[in-house]
Amino acid sequence: MTLCPETSASVMKTGMTLLSGKIRDKTYDLVITGPGVFNSAHAVTAYLEKSSPALMLHIGIAGVFKETGLDIGDIAIATQEHYIHTGIQTGTLEKEGLPFDLIQADFLSRKGMYPFDLDRVDHYHEILSRALAHKNKFRVVKGPFITVSTITSTLEQAGLLYLAFSPVMEAMEGAACAHVAALYGLPMIEVRAGSNFVGERDKSKWDIDQAIKHLGAVCSLI
């Protein structure tokens, strides 16, 4: 683990793994949540009940929307997370807000929307863009993400999602982590690398190894 030197490891009763270590002058705890909103919400909550980090860096791979012009391996920083299954069903993919807050006094939580601090997003986007500009191997952008519990299985459905929400990437954990971070008043940054195009089910066209490699390079700079 060259980019993530481990000094200790522990496993909780549920099997969640927690690695701790130090990179240069920064200490870190790495929580491996597992896939999906429920695993993520559980893992982050269990960790935050015993720890008080200064920042949550949520990282992972994701599906890239072709309409953005991004390619597999490109990096995106979320400006907002949106759990698109939250709300009241309408005749479209977009939903009306629930008649109650999911986070007290947070109106946007009624639609599963979690905006991030744009100054912080801009700060990390600038750092990564400047550090990686000379390599010209992959792009670093910023934009809204969506979180789903049903994997998009066709390019046609992916196009409809893009028309409805204009997202950069689709994944299965971000909104859950953002929700828990908001409950604990913890600042969060989400960074993902594209491993496939949203709606492409032929895994021979995916490149998870490249996405993880690029993600590792990014994490070493934050």
pLDDT value of position 23: 75
The domain containing residue 80 runs over which residues?
55-219
User: Is 127 within the bounds of a domain?
Assistant: yes
User: Is 11 within the bounds of a domain?
Assistant: no
User: Is 152 within the bounds of a domain?
Assistant: yes
pLDDT value of position 130: 86
User: Is 113 within the bounds of a domain?
Assistant: yes
Q: How far apart are CA 179 and CA 93, in angstroms?
A: 21
User: Is 191 within the bounds of a domain?
Assistant: yes
User: Is 166 within the bounds of a domain?
Assistant: yes
pLDDT value of position 2: 39
User: Is 38 within the bounds of a domain?
Assistant: no
Q: 0.85 exceeded by the pTM?
A: yes
Over its length of 222 residues, how does the chain's per-residue pLDDT go in tens digits? 334 555 666 667 777 778 888 777 778 888 989 899 999 999 999 999 988 999 999 999 999 999 999 999 999 999 999 999 999 999 999 999 999 999 999 999 999 999 999 999 999 999 998 887 666 678 999 999 999 999 999 999 999 999 999 999 999 999 999 999 999 999 999 999 999 999 999 999 999 999 999 998 888 787
pLDDT value of position 4: 52
User: Is 20 within the bounds of a domain?
Assistant: no
Query: Which secondary structure element, helix H or strand E, spans residue 180, and what is its range?
Result: helix 174-183
pLDDT value of position 107: 96
Q: How far apart are CA 94 and CA 148, in angstroms?
A: 13
Which CATH number fits the domain that encloses residue 87? 3.40.50.1580
- Structural domain count, the chain: 1
DSSP 83: B
Q: How far apart are CA 113 and CA 178, in angstroms?
A: 9
pLDDT value of position 40: 95
